[in-house]
Amino acid sequence: MHSSNKVTVKQALNERDGLQIWWRLLRPHTLTASFVPVFVGSMLAFHEGHMNLLLFLAMLIASMLIQAATNMFNEYYDFVKGLDNEGSVGIGGTIVRDGIKPKTVLNLALTFFGMAMLLGLYISATSSWWIAVIGLICMLFGYLYTGGPLPIAYTPLGELSSGFLMGTVIIGISYYIQTKTITAEVLFASIPIAIFIGAILLSNNIRDLENDKENGRKTLAILLGRKNAIGFLGLMFIVAFVITAWLIIENIFPIWSLITFIGAIKAVDVILKFKGKTQPLEMMPAMAATGKTNSIYGILLGISLFISTFVN
């Protein structure tokens, strides 16, 4: 049963051997959640005449390393706790399907954290050592997401914590290291991105609802139920775009930021892809579309800030 399930899942997900094993371990489709906030925070700073390219690149790479390491901790601890098996979707499958030793995955995650810390030292030395403190807190939460005695991923607070830390905090840091200041406007500007990042996690938890419930998790999707969780996901998208409209009206975002509403097309597609689906494999396209919604919105927002710097 397990071996046939293994083949089915590998075929359905088009999983291959070789270098793709390590690429999947990074869960590249989730890295939008680390790229977008750094890009948006940096473009907010650029819009005000500040841009240090080396700091931007260091922040971008450090954030993606932390995100990738968090994914690896997730892979490791879910395996150790018996949550993942050969038929699990939404994971890299590096341990349960490709036979990579769990210790190897854990050590790689710690290595990525170490690399991020080195970049953090450079960022802190050129901006403020408070950034090092905040960065360490973010890394701690990355570990505690699935590690520790009470993993955040097992609670209803996953969406809130990931949205705040990866959205608001990362945007704030990315802006601060360029401008050496932080404003209320930047914090307001971070809210839509924080919502979209939280939506990625909610989408993931809707897909994994049954398996999570069997393993004792108490995620927001489980507490709401599948139908209500999909409705709440739709509400999150609506709120994000309503706040975007308000930010444009208040001149926090330029009028060019209206192009972000193109992302609403993909947001609607997410809900349609979830409707009537009950099997994890069936919901993979909806999960992927949620990440794309964040990417489309975030990249278009950054571009709008970039364009308006020269046009206005």
The model's confidence at residue 280, banded by pLDDT at 50, 70 and 90, is confident
**Mean pLDDT computed over every residue of the chain:** 89
Distance CA 232, CA 134 (A): 30
Per-residue pLDDT, 4: 42
Q: Are 113 and 77 in contact (CB under 8 A)?
A: no
Most confident region among 71-85, 96-110, 144-158, 237-251 by mean pLDDT: 237-251
How would residue 65 be classed by pLDDT, with cut points 50, 70 and 90?
Answer: very high
Burial class (CB in 10 A: 0-12, 13-18, 19+), 275: exposed
Sign of CA dihedral 19, 279, 88, 167: positive
CA distance 153 to 159: 9
Rounded CA-CA distance 195/203 in Å is: 12
pLDDT band at 56 (very low <50, low <70, confident <90, very high): very high
In CATH, the number for domain 17-311 is: 1.10.600
Q: What single letter denotes the amino acid at residue 178?
A: Q
Mean pLDDT of 285-307: 95
Query: How confident is residue 98, by pLDDT bands cut at 50, 70 and 90?
Result: confident
Distance between CA atoms of 302 and 310, rounded to whole angstroms? 13
Tokens encoding 58: 């260091």
pTM over 0.85: yes
How many whole angstroms separate alpha carbon 103 and alpha carbon 209?
28
286-294 mean pLDDT: 93
pLDDT for 43 equals: 97
pLDDT for residue 6:
46
Q: Please give the DSSP secondary-structure letter assigned to residue 226.
A: H
pLDDT band at 33 (very low <50, low <70, confident <90, very high): confident
pLDDT of residue 297: 98
Q: Determine contact, residues 278/234, Cβ cutoff 8 Å.
A: no
Task: Kindly tell me if the per-residue pLDDT of 68 is higher than 70.
Answer: yes
pLDDT at 1: 38
Return the DSSP state at 167. I
pLDDT of 13 above 70 = no
Q: What is the pLDDT of residue 286?
A: 94
Confidence grade of residue 216 (pLDDT, cut at 50, 70, 90):
confident
Average pLDDT over residues 89-106: 79
pLDDT at 8: 53
Q: How many whole angstroms separate alpha carbon 299 and alpha carbon 292?
A: 10
Q: Enumerate residues 6+ apart whose C-beta is below 8 A from 186.
A: 41, 44, 171, 172, 175
pLDDT score of 12 more than 60: no
Average pLDDT over residues 92-107: 83
Greater pLDDT, 102 or 236: 236
The fraction of the chain above a pLDDT of 70, given in percent, is 91
- Domain ranges for the chain, please list them: 17-311
Rounded CA-CA distance 92/25 in Å is 5
How is residue 62 written in tokens? Answer: 């450090």
Provide mean pLDDT across the span 193-214: 92
pLDDT of residue 107: 95
The DSSP secondary-structure symbol of 250 reads T
Decide if 308 contacts 256 (C-beta within 8 A). yes
Gap between the Cα atoms of 214 and 216, Å rounded: 6
The Cα 233–Cα 290 span in angstroms is 10
- Give the chain's count of helices (H) and strands (E): 14, 0
Task: Using the predicted structure, report yes or no on whether residue 196 has a pLDDT greater than 60.
Answer: yes
What average pLDDT does range 189-218 have in this prediction? 92
Q: What is the pLDDT of residues 260-272, one digit of tens each?
A: 999 999 999 999 9
Q: How far apart are CA 276 and CA 283, in angstroms?
A: 10
What average pLDDT does range 122-147 have in this prediction?
90
